[in-house]
Chain A
Amino acid sequence: MRFDRLPIAVLRTRYVPGGWDVLAFALVFVFLIYCAQAAHGLTGSLARLQATPISLDPWALIGYSARTALRMVLAMVASLIFTFTYATLAARSRRAEVILVPLLDFLQSVPILGFSFTILFFLQLTPGRVAGAELAAIFLIFTSQAWNMAFSFYHSLRSIPDEMVEAARNFQLSPWMRFWRLEVPFAMPALIWNMMMSMSGGWFFLVFSEAITVGHTTVSLPGVGSYIALAIEQKNLAAIGWAIAAMFVVILLFDQLLFRPLNASADWFRLDQEAGFTTSRSWALTMMRRSRFLRLVSEGFAALLRLGMKPRSTHGAPPAGAAQVWRARWVDYAWYTLLIVVGIGAVWRIARFVLEEVPPAEIVRVLLYGLFTLLRVAVLIALASLIWVPIGVWVGLRPRVASVVQPIAQFLAAFPANLFFPLVVSAIVLLKLTPDVWLSPLMILGTQWYILFNVIVGASAIAPDLRYAGENLGVRGWLWWRRIALPAVFPFYVTGAITASGGSWNASVNAEVAAWGTETVRAHGLGAYIADSTAAGDFQRNVLGIMVLSLLVVILNRVFWRPLYARAERKFRIS
């Protein structure tokens, strides 16, 4: 596996292309050509885009997939840049932290439709061009990807072992070097896992980010999302099938070419071999490692990073006067006062803005909608837990099954709820079911898998000794579940349930209103309220709905999930 890393490779060798190079070459250039083609559309005019409608021809999907994939990649790059700057600032500055972290908490709870209005801004940025709409789409995908990545990075930065930080300082690494040599590698495993989750999130909301409707402004960018939107509008089942196939292929490619290599290389970043079911292997990583061509490229990148590394002074700079003042207490107080004043001002402004249009009675109604949605989320999480916890434990104890189940669940997590609209709407209309009940499962469609993922990880992490001890004592049946399996996976389950619950709230905008052709079914809830207000271009109601939703999510996290998590940590983890 690592022949190329033996001491001989330490010496410089001449560049001789090998077998892996051919493959690497081919893949890199196919990718470049694809990018060029996809980017070509950017400069076109908006009028022409609107004149060329989306085609449901399956062959058109190849081009659409490329465009969608490119948008996703660009959004991912933007998310990474956001993560690296925002989270780093939050972790390095105590003053920035007090505002940035709660802000991130809040942003994470805002559903994608809350950002739809930005399309008006992006369209004005490049009048008459497609580029503005493309930017808007990328931004919307970004909003479904960035927040959890930033959170994960922030947490990683905060948990770097002290002695490693001290070693970095002792050897006088510059901040730039410390970032790339210590902080990023340390955060990598968690960040990659979150990137995968983010990708799934991006897919789940794809229809919203490509086929954007805000009031009278409607833009359908060529892509898989718009294709799905059109297929639903035209009740074209075959097209839906093709879209699923195209999605499957693109997700598979992402998995093989991006996430699997990343995961396999992240194993090298881990401090210890953790108990888990991913002993990652990746042919793509092998190719990258063996291909001298790609190694040259990566060495170039490494050299670029080294540019920022400057030798430091011998005795360390004495703290300057300005720095002393900057650290003083009264600067703290001034800063907090400023934050409070700005906060009060903002609340005042929002309240005036919303109340201009919305009567107080409606606010009460919206709160009630919030309770409906809350009830749905609670029932669904409970149901999903009943189903997936036992299955997850069963799978987790069998590593071979786990390695099969994990990629499947990952694909299902990316599955947009819209693709189930035909099934659900037809069933509701035909069987005259209550939408308030039967639309609900759509909410948890994409998020239930996080419960499964985490329970599998938890079950596979049960120490063998513990299992043997259980067998040895003859602990079986319900007693085994109650005393061994459930307590062991509980902390993991809570982590999964938190993710699933947060995601379900976001998904409510995608699940409480469902359409199939001209048939539209609607449940009473906050998600439906937000979706409707966006479609109507009613900014005030949109803001109100999103504020209530965010508030509910944040409160729920603070008073229910976090204490539960702390308790799980304390009670069920040894040492």
Chain B
Amino acid sequence: MNATAPALNLAPLLEVQGVCKSFRKPDGDQLVVLENVNLQLRPGEIVGLLGRSGSGKSTLLRLIAGLDEPTSGVVGYLGHPVSGPASGIAMVFQSFALFPWLTVLENVQLGLEAQGVAENEKRKRSLQAIDLIGLDGFESAYPRELSGGMRQRVGFARALVVHPNLLLMDEPFSALDVLTAETLRGDFLNLWGEGQLPIKSVLLVTHNIEEAVQMCDRLLIFSTNPGRVVGEIVVDLSQPRNAEDPRFRALIDRVYVEMTARPRGEVRTGPKERFPGTGIGTVLTHVSSNVLIGLIETVAATPYDGKADLPVIAEEQHLEVDELFPAAEALQMLRFAEVEGGDIRLTDAGLEFARSETDERKKLFARHLITYVALAAHVRRVLDERASHSAPKSRFFDELEDYMAQEAAEQTLRTIVSWGRYAEVFAYDDHAQVFSLENPA
């Protein structure tokens, strides 16, 4: 840890201890979303929670905001356990969550109104916040008259006006286009650096690695299924940070390495183990075959020639971590590539795929799909065995539900349908919700 950070000397603003969160599945089993999460937030720091979608980081943010209760463990704010929405903790939302029927001013005033602040004081503070965040002149506009960036500014003003100690940000820039997001981030960091913001600390949830390195003093890496903090990276660069700075790039590389690392506790014995488990209970993240093919082709082509740095690929292909990681993992599962240490390397089969024509590609993909993805093999086997060569979706859905939550099962089936269709190993009629071996040709 950075010993020079003044934060160390102060009592923690927020202390999360051993927090677990699980939801009850329809069949009565527990689905664990967060497992034994610990974190501390001290005054004066911006901390980033970095992980893929579905890693439970947004759930953690809601627990901290008091919008939900942990199954076990304690969220402590200023030494007291949080057990409901607390004043002093304000939130900025991904979708802005502005009230469309209120003007900018009315939206900003909302929190103060709820606190029963006197009319004059309320107006004064709101206009100040609007001023600060650069919304001058838009007081009487309705949210729908504003662009996305301006809407999120309202979101910030609304959170800042209540003078919270802790500002929670749930992917606040991810619904904005790249340029707008950058401007807004820059403006925020300026105000923060100048000490103009009436807040003590910020907790930022994001899946954008560059954004995290740009903004945060500390990054906590989240793993998926269940969500846990698996790593911590201190960013000891001074603001404003330059994305071209080699040290900045090095940090981004480090984050990629951490995020592609296997979760601790998993023993590795041989090269075979490098591939994630592929029993039929494996949750498959939906990646379109288009993206998979695109990724193989990119990595196979010059200048990469079969081996590439993930951060470089992400930047070149304008892929978010949320798209890149699942795609890389799918290729790994299909034995078309290996992913480790922030790198992706095509296997021989992957290279062969890249060289082939459409028909051969499909055959190769089909072979790998049936061999390495247990669910695909299972579906195919069931269809082969049945006299009708068809089976309802529910048959597989019920089976999957023994292993995973409903949504995950839904997504896994969607993925297998999409891959199966590309490989032409089976067909699916969404209208009748039936898998079959028929080809509509």
| In the complex with contacts A7-B140, A172-B87, A309-B431 CB distance below 8 A | no
For residue B193, CB closer than 8 A to chain A, the reply is no
For residue A558, CB closer than 8 A to chain B, the reply is no
| In the complex with contacts A6-B140, A166-B62, A571-B431, A315-B97 CB distance below 8 A | no
Q: Are B83 and A316 in contact (CB under 8 A)?
A: yes
Q: Are A9 and B87 in contact (CB under 8 A)?
A: no
Q: Are B111 and A172 in contact (CB under 8 A)?
A: yes
| In the complex with contacts A9-B140, A316-B82, A167-B91 CB distance below 8 A | yes
User: Interface 1/0s, chain A 1-26, versus B by CB < 8 A?
Assistant: 01001110110000000000000000
* B175 to A: closest C-beta gap in Å: 11
Q: Which residues from 56 to 86 on chain B have a C-beta closer than 8 Å to any C-beta of chain A?
A: 62, 65-67, 77, 80-86
The secondary-structure label for the interface of chain B is loop
For residue B95, CB closer than 8 A to chain A, the reply is yes
Q: Which of B101-109, B195-203, B264-272, B398-406 contacts A (4 or more CB under 8 A)?
A: B101-109
Between A and B, how many residue pairs show CB distances below 8 Å?
A: 109
For residue A306, CB closer than 8 A to chain B, the reply is yes
| In the complex with contacts A169-B67, A171-B158, A317-B84, A270-B116 CB distance below 8 A | no
Which residues of chain B come closer than 8 Å to A309, judged between CB atoms? 113-114, 116
Measured between alpha carbons, how far is A78 from B114 in the docked complex, in Å? 29
Q: Which residues from 383 to 441 on chain A have a C-beta closer than 8 Å to any C-beta of chain B?
A: none
* A176 to B: closest C-beta gap in Å: 10
For residue A170, CB closer than 8 A to chain B, the reply is yes
Measured between alpha carbons, how far is A173 from B162 in the docked complex, in Å? 13
For residue A356, CB closer than 8 A to chain B, the reply is no
| In the complex with contacts A166-B62, A171-B158, A161-B97 CB distance below 8 A | yes
For residue B139, CB closer than 8 A to chain A, the reply is yes
For residue A474, CB closer than 8 A to chain B, the reply is no
| In the complex with contacts A167-B93, A171-B110, A171-B111, A316-B140 CB distance below 8 A | no
* A265 to B: closest C-beta gap in Å: 9
For residue A272, CB closer than 8 A to chain B, the reply is yes
| In the complex with contacts A171-B158, A172-B87, A316-B66, A166-B97 CB distance below 8 A | yes
Which residues of chain B come closer than 8 Å to A268, judged between CB atoms? 100-101, 142
Which residues of chain A come closer than 8 Å to B66, judged between CB atoms? 316
* B161 to A: closest C-beta gap in Å: 10
For residue B88, CB closer than 8 A to chain A, the reply is yes
| In the complex with contacts A2-B140, A268-B100, A316-B82, A170-B90 CB distance below 8 A | yes
Which residues of chain B come closer than 8 Å to A164, judged between CB atoms? 97, 99
Which residues of chain B come closer than 8 Å to A310, judged between CB atoms? 116
Which residues of chain A come closer than 8 Å to B91, judged between CB atoms? 166-167, 170
Measured between alpha carbons, how far is A318 from B158 in the docked complex, in Å? 26
Q: Which residues from 239 to 293 on chain A have a C-beta closer than 8 Å to any C-beta of chain B?
A: 268-273
Which residues of chain B come closer than 8 Å to A6, judged between CB atoms? 140
The secondary-structure label for the interface of chain A is loop
Which residues of chain B come closer than 8 Å to A273, judged between CB atoms? 144
Q: Which of A170, A185, A318 contacts B85 (CB 8 A)?
A: A170
For residue B285, CB closer than 8 A to chain A, the reply is no
**Most chain A beta-carbon neighbours within 10 Å: one of B67, B105, B140:** B140
Measured between alpha carbons, how far is A316 from B86 in the docked complex, in Å? 6
Smallest CB gap from B100: residue in A = A271
For residue A312, CB closer than 8 A to chain B, the reply is yes
* B240 to A: closest C-beta gap in Å: 30
Q: Which residues from 88 to 145 on chain B have a C-beta closer than 8 Å to any C-beta of chain A?
A: 88-91, 93-95, 97, 99-103, 105, 110-111, 113-116, 123, 137, 139-140, 142, 144
Which residues of chain A come closer than 8 Å to B105, judged between CB atoms? 10
* A98 to B: closest C-beta gap in Å: 17
User: Interface 1/0s, chain A 340-378, versus B by CB < 8 A?
Assistant: 000000000000000000000000000000000000000
For residue A464, CB closer than 8 A to chain B, the reply is no
Measured between alpha carbons, how far is A214 from B245 in the docked complex, in Å? 88
Measured between alpha carbons, how far is A269 from B99 in the docked complex, in Å? 8
Measured between alpha carbons, how far is A6 from B85 in the docked complex, in Å? 34
Measured between alpha carbons, how far is A302 from B347 in the docked complex, in Å? 68
For residue A319, CB closer than 8 A to chain B, the reply is yes
Q: Are B95 and A315 in contact (CB under 8 A)?
A: no
Smallest CB gap from B115: residue in A = A311
Q: Which of B95, B111, B162 contacts A163 (CB 8 A)?
A: B95
**Most chain A beta-carbon neighbours within 10 Å: one of B83, B101, B105:** B101
Measured between alpha carbons, how far is A319 from B68 in the docked complex, in Å? 12
Smallest CB gap from A2: residue in B = B140
| In the complex with contacts A314-B88, A317-B83, A269-B116 CB distance below 8 A | no
Q: Which residues from 294 to 338 on chain A have a C-beta closer than 8 Å to any C-beta of chain B?
A: 306, 309-312, 314-319
**Most chain A beta-carbon neighbours within 10 Å: one of B81, B105, B113, B123:** B113
Which residues of chain B come closer than 8 Å to A547, judged between CB atoms? none
Q: Which of B86, B114, B140 contacts A315 (CB 8 A)?
A: B86
| In the complex with contacts A166-B67, A171-B110, A173-B114, A316-B97 CB distance below 8 A | no
Which residues of chain A come closer than 8 Å to B85, judged between CB atoms? 169-172, 312, 316
Q: Are A163 and B88 in contact (CB under 8 A)?
A: no
Which residues of chain B come closer than 8 Å to A315, judged between CB atoms? 77, 80-84, 86
Smallest CB gap from B110: residue in A = A171
Which residues of chain B come closer than 8 Å to A9, judged between CB atoms? 140
Q: Are A173 and B110 in contact (CB under 8 A)?
A: yes
Measured between alpha carbons, how far is A310 from B114 in the docked complex, in Å? 7
* B342 to A: closest C-beta gap in Å: 33
Smallest CB gap from A314: residue in B = B87
Measured between alpha carbons, how far is A263 from B296 in the docked complex, in Å? 54
User: Interface 1/0s, chain B 398-433, versus A by CB < 8 A?
Assistant: 000000000000000000000000000000000100
| In the complex with contacts A170-B91, A315-B84, A316-B66, A163-B116 CB distance below 8 A | no
* A192 to B: closest C-beta gap in Å: 13
For residue A182, CB closer than 8 A to chain B, the reply is yes
For residue A124, CB closer than 8 A to chain B, the reply is no
User: Interface 1/0s, chain A 504-548, versus B by CB < 8 A?
Assistant: 000000000000000000000000000000000000000000000
* B173 to A: closest C-beta gap in Å: 15
Which residues of chain A come closer than 8 Å to B140, judged between CB atoms? 2, 5-7, 9-10
Measured between alpha carbons, how far is A181 from B113 in the docked complex, in Å? 11
Smallest CB gap from B96: residue in A = A163
* B148 to A: closest C-beta gap in Å: 13
Smallest CB gap from B155: residue in A = A167
Q: Which residues from 446 to 462 on chain A have a C-beta closer than 8 Å to any C-beta of chain B?
A: none
Smallest CB gap from A171: residue in B = B111
* B322 to A: closest C-beta gap in Å: 18
Measured between alpha carbons, how far is A318 from B99 in the docked complex, in Å? 28
Which residues of chain A come closer than 8 Å to B83, judged between CB atoms? 315-319
For residue A177, CB closer than 8 A to chain B, the reply is yes
Which residues of chain A come closer than 8 Å to B100, judged between CB atoms? 268-271
- Report 15 cross-chain contacts, Cβ distance below 8 Å, ordered by A residue: A6-B140, A161-B97, A169-B85, A170-B65, A170-B89, A171-B162, A172-B87, A172-B115, A173-B110, A181-B99, A185-B101, A272-B144, A309-B114, A314-B88, A319-B83
6 further interface pairs, Cβ-Cβ under 8 Å (given A5-B103, A166-B62, A315-B77): A166-B65, A172-B114, A174-B114, A177-B113, A309-B114, A318-B81
Q: Which residues of A contact B (CB under 8 A)?
A: 2, 5-7, 9-10, 161, 163-164, 166-167, 169-174, 177, 181-182, 185-186, 188, 268-273, 306, 309-312, 314-319, 571
Shortest Cβ-Cβ A-B pairs, 6 listed: A316-B84, A171-B111, A167-B97, A163-B97, A311-B116, A185-B101
